[in-house]
Amino acid sequence: MKTQQDTSTDPFAFAFNPQNIENTVNNAKNTLNNPLFGMAYANFGKKFSGIGDKYDSLLNQIFSSQYRYYFDVDNMYVVKKSIMTIAPYLYRGNWALSSEFQAISPTENVHAPDLYLPLMSLITFVLLRCLNLGITDKQEFNPGYIVDSFWKCLVISFLEVIIIKIVFCFLDGIRVNTVDLISHLNYRYCSLCALMVFNILINNNFFSSICTVYVLICQAIFVYKTLQRYSPSHNQSALELSSFGSNITLLLSLLQPFCSWILLSFGQ
């Protein structure tokens, strides 16, 4: 009887060789007994235990940051802002805030930007489109349509924000907070939701077209009046730049109905 395994054919000979086992065990004992390794393992343990605390503090930082003002809304603000998107000509005068770089709660000023209404109106718009498709042509509907619509809306909004941000970057002296810009340019979904509800209730192409044109004009007016607060009017002489600034703002405000028209036409 062989006392040792036949190492020539055994693939695991390196593991079962008694000499190798002794070396492995000795190495393990050396590392465990070495106080330096013990300190290293203790530090690893502290790092892992600290990750949970860091995660909690990171979340606390995010939720207590300035971004919370974008969600500090109440019922009256939501109603007034919705009316403003559908009928902006009712709110005359300057739509500027007291300070463009200080966070203002929407409950204090109806012209302050928020993210609640754009987000809710975006999701409502996507669901209304799905509802419209489900009612008109059920065979075409599948749950992937919800995801597709959502991504199309996000991509078009993202491109619009990028274009306007680039234009503002080329114009000297205009600083626009990106989150504010996202907020201002996505109130369009509120008026688009109203349009979708109108289309679902009144299934008539003529009235639907008139309503679409009205909504697109209202969106252009809304964006024009909102972006006026960022137009360059104080760098050089007032006469020169005031017209230049208003021209740029007018051009940029026409981008919004164009993007909305793309959404309505090529979405389905």
**Residues of the shown chain interacting with another protein in the complex, contacts defined by CB under 8 A:** 59-60, 63-64, 67-68, 70-75, 78, 116, 119-120, 123-124, 127, 130-131, 133-134, 138, 141-144, 146-147
Q: Return the number of the residue (14 or 63) whose C-beta is nearest another protein.
A: 63
Instruction: Identify the CA nearest to 180 among candidates 103, 254, 249.
Output: 103
State residue 198 phi and psi, 5-degree precision: -60, -45
User: Which residues lie closer than 8 Å to 229 by C-beta, 6 or more apart?
Assistant: 94, 95, 96, 97, 100
Q: Return the number of the residue (141 or 261) whose C-beta is nearest another protein.
A: 141
CB atoms within 10 A of CB 78: 17
The helix (run of H) or strand (run of E) holding residue 145 is helix 144-170
Q: Return the number of the residue (17 or 132) whose C-beta is nearest another protein.
A: 132
Distance (Å, rounded) from C-alpha 229 to C-alpha 180?
12
Distance (Å, rounded) from C-alpha 258 to C-alpha 209?
15
Instruction: Report, in Å, the least distance between residue 78 CB and another protein.
Output: 7
Q: Return the number of the residue (121 or 231) whose C-beta is nearest another protein.
A: 121
Instruction: Report, in Å, the least distance between residue 76 CB and another protein.
Output: 10
